[in-house]
Structure 1
Amino acid sequence: MKNLALTLVTLFTVCLSTEVVAQSKKTTVTTTSKIQKAKEEATIASINKQMNAIDDQLDNKTSKKAEKTNYCYLTEQLLNVANDYQGIRYQWGGMSRSGMDCSGFVKNAFNQFNIDLPRTSKEMASRGERVSSAEAKPGDLIFFKNGGSRVINHVGIVIEVNGDDIKFIHSATSKGVSINSTKEAYYSRGFVQINRVYDRQVL
């Protein structure tokens, strides 16, 4: 009888130990699984973060490319409009094809693209961002103090830049809407500044 009781106790102990070991293994497997899952989720989150960063960079590059394309397109169209006015006679205070003064010509050209500028060259000179001659681009405004004037009294639109030779289209008192260069002594003496009055902010 004692042997039977001892045997039963031994079997119970073995079964209990086996169950404890099994439960321990199950807990270990569950813990390991959770750790592995957490690692996988962290890896996926890291990959997603990197992919989002790449997408943002691509979007930024695409946006900048679009801005540059829009800027170039607007400039091209502006110069086409300005060149279409060549030959129109000078008329003080004029803003039509029957005659234009310098600021009337510039204002009229920019009006075609919903860019509103003041009526006089002096007022226009306070608009936009002033840039150096080295930074000048087609589409910028170029200002002069001609005829010994102490204030800005003439404006044109830059159409081409070759080093220090800046060609511009304007309405001159002698020739009407025509093209001249800062290399010419008269305009070299009177040159004052260059302004950029449109950029990506207005596109």
Structure 2
Amino acid sequence: MKPLLYSLLLLLLFASCKSTSSTVSTSKKTTLKTNSNKFIVLKEKSEEQKARIDKKDSKEIEVIKIVPNKKLVVSNYNYDVVLSSNNAKKLCNQLVDDALKNIGSPYKSGGITKKGYDCSGLIFTTFKNNDIILPRTSIDMSKIGRFIEANDAKKGDFIFFKTNGKTIINHLGMIVDVDNNEIKFIHSSSSKGVIISSINESYYSNCIAQINRIIE
């Protein structure tokens, strides 16, 4: 009798250990990366953002043609639009090159000159110098363009953040380079002025809100 009981106890112990070791967590909240070769996973979107993404993915989004040497104004009331160019890549390269000329400029709240920029001021001025007038604030800029997944990001796309525990978008940059699983962007940091940063930096990887394509 005892050998039988002993055998049953061994079987139960083996089964218990096996089931414990094979348990895998699949919660989206446990990690920001699926593996080292993939882009970070953007945080779960709110119901309001999901609704806007659905709209932007539909035909309801308006396409506005960019005409060379003619000023284009995208007002605060002209949301859900994307700008179309005959040579989007060339224009995006030009915009990035213009923004890069401001590297080293100090941060200034409300600033739109080399004497000082805030994050949206840098982008606003860069586009204005190319005859495109965007909304002035980061939250308003986040409402134009087409939502893009991180692994589809390109040079010239906008990347938005919710920093310092904020629940709404309060910071943005323009993507200057995408290499393997790294996205680099130019922005005006409140502590360092106009610099290039990477989403591989923990501060920014933890507060990405969305990526928008403005020009296509």
Larger radius of gyration: 1
Does residue 100 in structure 1 map to residue 117 in structure 2?
Answer: yes
Does residue 181 in structure 1 map to residue 162 in structure 2?
Answer: no
CA displacement, residues 115-138 of structure 1 (integer Å, 9 cap, x when unaligned): 221111011100011111011000
Residue 69 (structure 1) shift: 7.2
- Give yes or no for contact 2:95–2:127 (8 Å, CA) kept in 1: yes
Distance in 1, matches of 2:150 and 2:132, equals 23
Alignment correspondent of 2:21: none
Alignment correspondent of 1:112: 129
Identity %: 43
Distance in 2, matches of 1:69 and 1:143, equals 26
Distance in 2, matches of 1:96 and 1:75, equals 21
Count of aligned positions: 133
Q: Which amino acid in structure 1 is aligned with residue 120 of structure 2? A: S
Distance in 1, matches of 2:85 and 2:134, equals 22
- Give yes or no for contact 2:108–2:116 (8 Å, CA) kept in 1: yes
Larger proportion of helix: 1
Q: Which amino acid in structure 1 is aligned with residue 157 of structure 2? A: D
Does residue 161 in structure 1 map to residue 178 in structure 2?
Answer: yes
Distance in 2, matches of 1:162 and 1:69, equals 25
Q: Aligned with 1:149: secondary structure? A: coil
Residue 72 (structure 1) shift: 1.8
Q: Aligned with 1:195: secondary structure? A: strand
TM-score, normalisation: structure 2: 0.59
CA displacement, residues 138-188 of structure 1 (integer Å, 9 cap, x when unaligned): 000000000111100000000011233110000001110000000000000
Query: Which protein, 1 or 2, shows the higher relative CO under an 8 Å CA cutoff with sep ≥ 6?
Result: 2
Alignment correspondent of 2:38: none
Unaligned runs of 5+ in 1: 1-66
Matches within 5 A, 1:37-76: 70-76=87-93
- Give yes or no for contact 2:92–2:215 (8 Å, CA) kept in 1: no
Residue 68 (structure 1) shift: 8.3
Distance in 2, matches of 1:74 and 1:144, equals 24
Q: Aligned with 2:99: secondary structure? A: helix
TM-score, normalisation: structure 1: 0.63
Structure 1 outlier segments of 4+, above 4 Å = none
Q: Aligned with 1:158: secondary structure? A: strand
Picking from 97, 114, 132, the partner of 1:80 is 97
Q: Aligned with 1:93: secondary structure? A: coil
- Give yes or no for contact 1:130–1:196 (8 Å, CA) kept in 2: yes
Q: Aligned with 1:78: secondary structure? A: helix
Distance in 2, matches of 1:163 and 1:193, equals 19
